Structure 1
Amino acid sequence: MFAALRGEVKLAGRSCGECKFTGACDSLARVDGLLQAREPGPWTRSVSASDLEAYERCPAQWYMEREVHLPRVEEGNQALLRGLAVHRWIAHAHARGVPCSIADLPNPADLGRLATVAGGIIDPADYELAYPFLRSHLETCPLRAGQVGSLTAEKTIYAYDGVADAVIATKADSYWLAGDTLVMREIKTVQVQPEVDDDQIFSTFLAVAWDLVALEAGLSRHHGADHGEVQLEVLSPDSAVVHTYTTRDAALMRMARGRVRRLARQWISDQQWNPLPGPGCSRCSVRRWCGVRDEYESSVGSRVTLGAASGSSPAIP
């Protein structure tokens, strides 16, 4: 109790963005220049790759969800539920420090064994959705390689960019040391394995660029590694593909820094957070708080009506 009163325990977290001591706190890894800002923002903020993705879709939605925390109305779907179930199960399995095996995956119909193996961490209906994806993961489980040291699953790493005055949150699905390399792995689930190469995957998922820049800016060094590597594991019901990227690839790092810089500079200087009406408005979790929530649908309806009246085909938005 006395330690709590004296404030001797420092615990890094998202709330660090509201702390007056952030810039001098030694519980945060240093990643100066990660956001590549020219100058600090108007106040200390916290930011992650998912924040920048949300901001790119709609600054107003990001502000209402992440900054002022207005109540949301979430609409669940199978893709979301299976993704959450896959991540939860794999994190639980990796925490044991042993490779994932078929013995860890009871048949979804065997509810009694499911409760024993999973320890109640996952709903049986969600496990049934995740089951084929988890079977695909067995061949790409990082613990099978035998060169993994101190694997950590589903833990957010908090750092501080002193140039941008921003708290950086990076949450890989797992990370570990392999020799002098700090490896961060992200996991995505898809119904059908896409026929794409590493470059297309890099362009699709901001998390890859974000993790690479974070590793280069200081996370590798903070964990005693010489350089970093990002792996994106794409799981489908019948296969698993791991796309690998390294901070030693100079051309790749230029692209990664450029992508983060473009979004981060817009985000850090924005104080208006104007909405961007679009197709996503109908699924927005904070649409009831937005004054232009129906603007996009109204504009599409007007174009369809106009096209029908003129005898032409409806306009494609």
Structure 2
Amino acid sequence: MSLRLPPPGTNGDIRLIRTSLPLLREDPQDCPRGNAVRARALLGQIPPRPRGKPVEDFALGPVMSVLDAVEHEGEEVDSALTRLLKKQKYHAGHVSWAESAVRSYLLARTAREAQRRVLERPPTLPVRAQWTAITQCDVPDARGAVRYERTAWGRRYASADGSERELWLLSVNSVKEDRPPAEIAEAAAVAVTGIPSQSAFRDIFRPAPGSTVRPQRVRIVGIGCGSGDHDVLADWEADEVDRRFAEHAKPVLRRVIEDDRLNPGSSCTRCEGLVACEQPPRTPGVLGVPGPRRPRTRRSLSASDLRVHARCPAQFHLTRVLHLKSGAPESEPIRRGRAVDEWLNLRHENGCCRTVPLSETLPGLSPAELPTALALLAEHQRACPLDGLPSDEVVRVQPRLTAYDPELDVVLIADPDLLYTRSGGWIWHETKTAAKPPWEGRALMETYPQLAFAVLMMSAGVPGGDPRRSLIELEVLYLDAEGTGKSRCEEIDPGDPDTRAEARRIIAGLAGPWAVDEKYAPTPGGHCGGCDVLTHCAAGRAHLEAR
């Protein structure tokens, strides 16, 4: 099926195709059609969608702002950071993190320049203008385009004579180690062929002052702004760049700008074509709460988001929106849960895991930690939900389920551990690991709000099937006092009126404060000790010191 342009519900000039590095990752969670629409940079939703942000939601925004002031305006680091503190658009925890990220970045730059001197290569200086590889056509091509712009977001440096260029690719926490060859090749190609340019919203890239000398060599450096670690991803002569671009990047670019397949998910939040798209299913008013006090940019929401926001809005904003991490080692229960989850996912791809031999090792677990995880897996095998399931039933392992509430302009996201059909209905199965018998003295959906979230999704028709035959299953794996693996399994009927009413009450109680929050204030408590962003939360540190 060919891509329909412009998509329904949009308007704008389709003659410009602009690509960026993330498009070359072909992330399986992304929507191919959404990426193709995104490449038509002058297309916009009708009517235009709100873009307001009560606080900044791009983690690297303040980092780039301060580095621009330091590298391009010659401002002292401390002065630039002081100005940053005064800006109300950033959360206080975000500012704290950005300060350490800026200093880590500048230390890395110093180290890499020292390395260049050792290698007897010329020093590099900051480049203000963006590099954009531009192809202009006289008449529209088969895609309807007359102009192609290829961009590579990052920080740019070049030697004084223009013979060498460097492009630094920034990640939020640690160096992004899974960039595919196509992305690295494209970054290098843009660094070689890109001309100085500047952009404006809903406009083409215009020429800007700067060197147009074609470099003989480029270096691509990846850096994790949170950890400060950095690595050279590519260091190639221009001819090598051309070869790698043709081999790795060009075929991917061709695919992503033409693909019309739908895969709704969190990327729907940035899609200009969502309003008139046939996916995801519409669920108006499903959360049962009023919208924000003033229009704001489209958001996604999961049960995990609601749970974290209820515990601490500041933690929600810093970890779920900005995706900040401390880099500290994870606790054994978290690593054990992930190891069990990964083992089950891999085995369930081939159906029932009842007779599959248990592994002698599990990723992330030491030999001393392994027996507990194996005991939990053995208990799951004893009553694997796929045991006896007819071969003509459908099994999906951790599928992404999506719904859209047009009233709140919110994309709802859920990732069941298992989703499988049985006699015409869908079974939504969640598996959890716990250190003790679960939900004693507390209602089931109160303890696990993702179950209430699942009830609302299924009652709204997601994922479909006969609602009278659909169920939600919860399997909790835990150890008894003797260290023996045990499990408790519960079933929830999403079609039961009382169950639906209870689910709506629980989710509305969580979603109401989230929907209107504009400050994301910290709520210190017992959870502060294990918080991933405690370093950047003054209120949390003060709470722990006062105990």
Distance 1:281 1:124, change over 3 A: closer
Kept in 2, the 8 Å contact 1:46–1:167? The answer is yes
Match of 2:459 in 1: 216
Gapped regions of structure 1 (runs ≥ 5): 109-113, 115-120, 301-317
Residue of structure 1 in register with 2:103 after alignment: none
2:268 is the alignment partner of 1:16: yes
Q: CA deviation at 1:229?
A: 1.5
Are 1:131 and 2:383 an aligned pair? no
Residues in 2 aligned to 1:29 and 1:269: alpha-carbon distance in whole angstroms: 24
User: 2:298, 2:439 → 1: CA distance?
Assistant: 41
Distance 1:268 1:141, change over 3 A: same
**Counterparts in 2 of 1:75 and 1:201: CA distance versus 1, 3 Å:** farther
Deviation track 1:160-202 (CA, whole Å, cap 9, x = no partner) reads 12222111110111011112321111111123334848x7333
Which ranges in structure 2 are unaligned for 5 or more consecutive residues? 1-252, 480-484
CA distance in 2, matches of 1:124, 1:273: 35
* Aligned residue in 2 for 1:100: 353
What is the DSSP-based 3-state SS (H/G/I as helix, E as strand, rest coil) of the residue aligned with 1:137? helix
The residue type equivalent to 2:530 in the other structure is R
Residues 1:177 and 2:421 are matched in the alignment:
yes
8 Å Cα contact 2:474-2:490 kept in structure 1: yes
Pick the structure with greater CA Rg.
2
Describe how 1:87-236 pairs up with structure 2 within 5 A: 87-97=341-351, 99-106=352-359, 108=360, 122-123=363-364, 125=366, 127-147=370-390, 149-194=393-438, 196=440, 200-221=443-464, 224-227=465-468, 228-236=470-478
Tell me which amino acid in the other structure corresponds to 2:280: L
Which residue of 20, 32, 36 corresponds with 2:288?
Answer: 36
User: Aligned to 2:520, which of 266, 273, 296?
Assistant: 273
The AA in structure 2 aligned to 1:189 is T
Q: 2:501 is matched with which residue?
A: 254
TM-score (norm 2): 0.48
Distance 1:159 1:10 in 2: 14
Secondary structure of the 2:539 match is coil
The offset of 1:51, in angstroms, is 0.4
Alpha-carbon RMSD across the aligned residues, in angstroms, is: 2.4
Residues in 2 aligned to 1:124 and 1:269: alpha-carbon distance in whole angstroms: 41
Letter in 2 for 1:77: S
231-240 or 289-298: which moved more? 289-298
> Bigger CA drift: 135-144 or 71-80?
71-80
CA distance in 1, matches of 2:530, 2:255: 46
| Whole-angstrom CA distance in 1 between matches of 2:400 and 2:493 | 21
Distance apart, 1:147 and its partner CA: 4.8
Q: By percentage of residues, which structure has more helix?
A: 1
Out of 152-161 and 44-53, give the one that drifted further: 152-161
Tell me the secondary structure at the aligned position of residue 29 of structure 1: coil
Q: Residue 52 of structure 1 contacts residue 263 of structure 1 at CA under 8 Å; is this kept in 2?
A: yes
Counterpart CA distance in 2 for 1:61 and 1:178 is: 39
Higher RCO by CA contacts (8 Å cutoff, separation 6 or greater): 1
Normalising by structure 1, we get a TM-score of 0.81
Following the alignment from structure 1 to structure 2, what is the Cα–Cα distance between the partners of residues 286 and 52?
18
Contact 2:302 2:414 in 1 (8 A): yes
Shift of 1:242: 0.9
